[in-house]
Amino acid sequence: MSANSSTNAVLTGVAIEARDLVRTFQIGNNRIEVLKQVNLTVKRGEKLFLCGPSGAGKTSLLYTLAGLEKPNSGEVMINGNSLYSLSRSGQAKIRNTEMGYVFQSFFLLPELTAIENVMVPAMLRGRKAKERAMHLMERVGLQDRANHLPTELSGGEQQRVAIARSLVNNPAIIFADEPTGNLDTKTGASVMSLLMDLAEEHERTLLVVTHDTELASTGDRKVTLVDGLIEN
């Protein structure tokens, strides 16, 4: 993608743009169309929530926008760059430098301590980030748990570690897939409040998949996906 496209994205304030995304899966003889020419624009700094019934394609859309699942056709623009037009190494660089991820199942490495888990994305870039990792551990209220293994942490604490990890490389965009799905209501509300506050504080674009319509109402915008299509 040309420098002009990146410059235009900056000038227009667009962080993410989906253009005619199609995503299909083959199950036996059946071809399942999960995303049906989806178009979506997310502004810089916007907190957008993707809602919809189970099987609507929410997670597939998030994963496609986040560079984790290549679409069958269509284009994903990240800050003016055509993500899937890049080489594999180029895509990996965008994912590592411009994106942070928070998943429902935490995905912490069990053999690493909490602070080591936070440092992993930075270590992949060859950076030593212990000071920043500790700052983020403090920011999520877990400075006293930094040297604990994931098995020694509660679900809410593990998700807070995952949030800190998502921010360690100072990404422009944070993708969160059902970040409260494995937590009780009180803990989930606390974790989501923290994620929203940190995104606001660091002026990050936040894209969240959730089935919780009440939670979705706390964002700047709610988009509903039904049968692979965005409802108008």
**Within a domain: 139:** yes
Residue 92, domain extent: 46-68+86-224
pLDDT digits (tens, 9 = 90+) for 105-121: 999 999 999 999 999 98
- Quick: pLDDT tens for 170-186: 899 999 999 988 888 88
Q: In Å, how far from its chain's centre is CA 201? A: 17
Q: Which amino acid is at 105?
A: S
pLDDT tens figures, 14-41: 999 999 999 998 888 888 899 999 999 9
| Predicted pLDDT of residue 12 | 61
What mean pLDDT comes out for the span 158-180? Answer: 93
Position 220 in a domain? yes
At 194-221, the pLDDT tens digits run 899 988 888 899 999 998 888 888 899 9
Residue 138 lies in a domain: yes
pTM to 2 decimals? 0.89
CATH of the domain at 102: 3.40.50.300
Q: How far apart are CA 196 and CA 161, in angstroms?
A: 15
Tokens describing residue 85: 């037009």
Is residue 98 classed as helix, strand or coil in its secondary structure? helix
Give the DSSP letter string of 118-167: HHHHHHTTT---HHHHHHHHHHTT-GGGTT--GGGS-HHHHHHHHHHHHH
**Residue 51: both structure tokens together:** 């809602």
The average confidence (pLDDT) of the chain is 89
- Examine residue 12 and state whether it is found in any structural domain, yes or no: no
In the chain, the percentage of residues whose pLDDT exceeds 90 is 65
Query: For the CA atoms of the chain, what is the radius of gyration?
Result: 18
Task: Report the domain count for the chain.
Answer: 1
**77 occurs within a structural domain:** no
Tell me, what's the pLDDT at 1? 44
Query: Is 4 within the bounds of a domain?
Result: no
Residue 7 lies in a domain: no
The model's pLDDT over 125-143, given as tens digits with 9 standing for 90+, comes to: 667 788 999 999 999 999 9
Determine the Cα–Cα distance for residues 21 and 71; give it in Å rounded to an integer.
Answer: 6
